[in-house]
Homo-oligomer: A and B are copies of this chain.
Amino acid sequence: MLATVIHAPRDIRVEEVADPVLSTGGDAIVRVVAACVCGSDLWPYRGVTPTDRPHRIGHEFVGVVEAVGPEVTTVAAGDFVIAPFYVCDGTCANCRNGVSTSCLAGGWWGSDDRVGGFADGGQGERVRVPLADGTLAVVPGPVADAEVPGLLTLSDVMGTGHHAAVSAGVGAGDAVAVVGDGAVGLCAIIAAKRLGATTIIAMSRHPQRQALAREFGATHIVEERGDAGVEAVRALTGGIGADRVLECVGTKESMDQALRSTRPGGMVGYVGVPNGGPELPVRQMFNRNVGVNGGVAPVRGYIEELLPDVRSGAIRPGLVFDLELPLTDAAEAYAAMDERRATKVLLRP
């Protein structure tokens, strides 16, 4: 079968690899219907994180189960499933606490899975899914092709945007600012509106993303950054700052923007992977009682909550995909995202 392999920075190839086989009793084999490229896939692509040897890549996919191991009880051949961007058992103490990204038995796609050897990457024709009972979420009934992009966002970006909003404690009537207009930031706007925010400020300079932000529920656009951005947010929030700010980038500058745009007593919900590890200025946070909460989003646990709204069309996160390519064009998908020609690319095997 074909799968995407990264060999080195900017060297993405779609190659013939061995078909996956059930290797533990808890495995499933999933035929991928759609996968996508994540902003974090660009880190090895750009050489920010090293690629020591060629390895499979990709961690967001939906598909149809082809086979399951004898211990699997919650998914069956023929089921349409959503895979979160990580593997989890759903039963350990951390999973029970809602933090399945810290699953004591779990792991990451394209990495060692601690169970059956190397876990496949998600950008391929088929994927072996360890801990299938905990990892996979079944989408009941027939799935229309038009539903696929929306369902695929539940593997990462929609759940991650939701996690930013949940971590920040967004509630009815809140004024929320969103830092970052990538796919996650756009989904965070959807999440904020869904949780009842009435003022939603999208910090964006990109005309097409601004338009999508407004479609998703943004009430205001702020193009300014730095001090001017802080002042613009304050001007829209009675002079004090936003109740909740969703940080969806991960740079030192974006976190600074988020912290300073939050009102005293407010909270930053952050899901941008900290890029290079900026530290947080605790004294500034302390003086203004600005909290910081979030992290690598436990999206598996959000799928059941968000799925009905995605299927009904109440929320339309699938609109973040602005380019669709065949899997064989994965290299172009990476290039398009790297060069910011696309917000989010969907790949079809």
Contact = CB atoms under 8 A, between A and B. Distances in A.
Given A93-B239, A94-B263, A265-B99, A296 B286 contact: yes
Contacts of A93: 238-240, 263
A291 interface: yes
A interface majority secondary structure: mixed
A294 B289 contact: yes
B238 A289 contact: no
A238 B94 CA distance: 10
A287 B274 CA distance: 9
Contact of A286 (B267, B273, B290): B273
A239 B295 CA distance: 21
Q: Please classify how large the interface on chain A is, using the bins under 10, 10 to 19, 20 to 34, 35 or more.
A: 35 or more
Interface in A74-101: 93-94, 97-99, 101
Contact of A279 (B282, B288, B291, B298): B282
B279 A274 contact: no
A32 B92 CA distance: 56
Interface of A: 93-94, 97-99, 101-102, 167, 238-240, 255, 263-265, 267, 270, 273-274, 277-283, 285-296, 298
Contacts of A263: 93-94, 97, 99
B295 A293 contact: no
18 contacts: A93-B240, A94-B265, A97-B263, A97-B264, A99-B289, A101-B264, A101-B289, A102-B264, A102-B288, A167-B289, A274-B283, A278-B282, A279-B279, A280-B285, A285-B295, A286-B294, A289-B294, A291-B291
- Which 4 residue pairs spanning A and B have beta carbons closest together? A291-B293, A279-B279, A102-B264, A99-B265
A170 to B, nearest CB: 14
A102 B280 CA distance: 20
A291 B294 contact: yes
Nearest to A98: B265
Nearest to A289: B295
Contacts of A290: 295
A159 B263 CA distance: 21
A101 B288 CA distance: 8
Contacts of A240: 93-94, 97
Contacts of A239: 93
A247 to B, nearest CB: 10
A205 B27 CA distance: 49
B293 A292 contact: yes
Contacts of A267: 293
Given A279-B280, A280-B280, A290-B295, 19 more contacts: A93-B263, A94-B240, A94-B264, A97-B240, A97-B263, A99-B265, A101-B289, A167-B291, A273-B286, A274-B283, A274-B286, A277-B282, A277-B283, A278-B282, A280-B282, A286-B294, A288-B295, A291-B293, A293-B293
Contact of A292 (B101, B238, B274, B285): B285
Contacts of A265: 94, 97-99, 102, 298
